[in-house]
């Protein structure tokens, strides 16, 4: 199995975190759990179908090409065949900036790309599917986004600066600190943040703090939980565990074990 990340083109760096390729030839069943991260996504599937769910009773077949907004709880991907997926990990306001999408309607959802963009897709999925190499697919997707760059730049505002401030501090800032730093009212921040991100700035900050914490837990062999409590701005270990269960439906120790196993599997 291959999972590889690619840095974005220079002009796309203000809007993208990375691009990725996920491929596998085996048809062995696989379930991958993913916590909320604060990012948006643009994803193309050029191999076998797969399913996603937050609740196992509500499994949905994932569209072959889709956009997704903020996830406020973990979700599972269930794969029963070969994997051929390429995706773009976008910063919190980037789907709005590129395409002017209704971000509230995209919370905890994957929307078929054609339904989201209509004629603006310009046949991008067929081009990506028919490409023969990862590098060709990366270029096609980046060229597609670059064709919307002027629109993205025109929609940037002070709200993008508040998002960057929250991101740079891994979510460990209060809304009062944001208001003071950027000299804006709470009403303006909350209204425009909801428009561009789909959730409140307070919830977004919590998700970014949790995403940073989850990344550390997943990629650390031996964890000093007390140090992690301090580094992540929690009062004590019980508050950390409470946030974990709220966003991830499992305790931190179980998450650590499951994701260490997944990382070893990917690295084989």
For the stretch 87-104, pLDDT in tens is 999 999 999 999 999 999
Identify the CA nearest to 199 among candidates 39, 67, 19, 17: 39
Cβ(240)–Cβ(252) below 8 Å: yes
213 pLDDT band, cuts 50/70/90, is: confident
Backbone angles phi and psi of 157, in degrees to 5? -150, -175
Identify the CA nearest to 50 among candidates 31, 33, 69: 31
* 51 strand-pairing partners: 61, 78
Among 33-47, 175-189, 192-206, 247-261, the least confident range: 247-261
Sorted by where each begins, the domain ranges of the chain are 2-154, 158-267
- 45-83 burial: b if 16+ Cβ within 10 Å, else e: bbbeebebeeeeeeeeebbbbbbbbbbbebbebebeeeb
Q: What is the pTM (predicted TM-score) of this model?
A: 0.87
Cβ(2)–Cβ(47) below 8 Å: no
Q: What is the mean pLDDT of residues 42-52?
A: 96
Kindly report the length of the chain.
268
CATH architecture of 2-154: Sandwich (2.60)
262 pLDDT band, cuts 50/70/90, is: very low
* pLDDT given at position 45: 97
Cβ(186)–Cβ(175) below 8 Å: yes
Integer-rounded Cα Rg, in Å, for the chain is 19
* pLDDT given at position 120: 82
Q: What is the mean pLDDT of residues 159-164?
A: 98
- 3-25 burial: b if 16+ Cβ within 10 Å, else e: beebebbeebebbbbebbbbbbe
pLDDT in tens, 50-80: 999 988 778 999 999 999 999 998 899 999 9
User: Which of the listed CATH numbers 1.10.10.60, 3.30.1300.10, 1.10.260.40, 1.50.10.10 matches domain 158-267?
Assistant: 1.10.10.60
């Amino acid at each position: 199995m291959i999972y590889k990340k690619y840095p974005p083109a220079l002009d796309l760096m203000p809007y993208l975190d990375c691009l990725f390729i996920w491929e596998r030839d085996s048809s062995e069943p696989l379930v991958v759990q993913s916590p909320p991260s604060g990012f948006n996504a643009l994803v193309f599937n050029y191999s076998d179908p797969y399913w996603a769910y937050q609740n196992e009773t509500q499994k949905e077949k994932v569209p072959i090409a889709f956009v997704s907004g903020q996830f406020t709880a973990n979700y599972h991907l269930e794969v029963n065949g070969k994997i051929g997926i390429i995706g773009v990990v976008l910063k919190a306001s980037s789907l709005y900036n590129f395409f002017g999408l209704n971000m509230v309607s995209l919370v905890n959802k994957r929307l078929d790309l054609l339904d989201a963009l209509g004629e603006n897709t310009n046949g991008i999925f067929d081009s990506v599917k028919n490409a023969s190499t990862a590098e060709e697919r990366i270029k096609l997707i980046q060229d597609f986004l670059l064709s919307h760059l002027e629109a993205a730049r025109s929609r940037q505002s002070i709200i993008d600066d508040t998002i960057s401030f929250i991101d740079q501090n891994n979510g460990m800032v209060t809304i009062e600190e944001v208001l003071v730093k950027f000299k804006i009212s709470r009403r303006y921040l909350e209204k425009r943040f909801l428009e561009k991100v789909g959730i409140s700035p307070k919830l977004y900050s919590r998700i970014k703090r949790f995403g940073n914490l989850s990344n550390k837990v997943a990629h650390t062999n031996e964890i000093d939980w007390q140090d992690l409590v301090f580094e992540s701005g929690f009062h004590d270990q019980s508050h950390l565990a409470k946030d974990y269960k709220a966003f991830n439906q499992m305790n931190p120790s179980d998450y650590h074990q499951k994701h260490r196993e997944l990382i070893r599997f990917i690295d084989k």
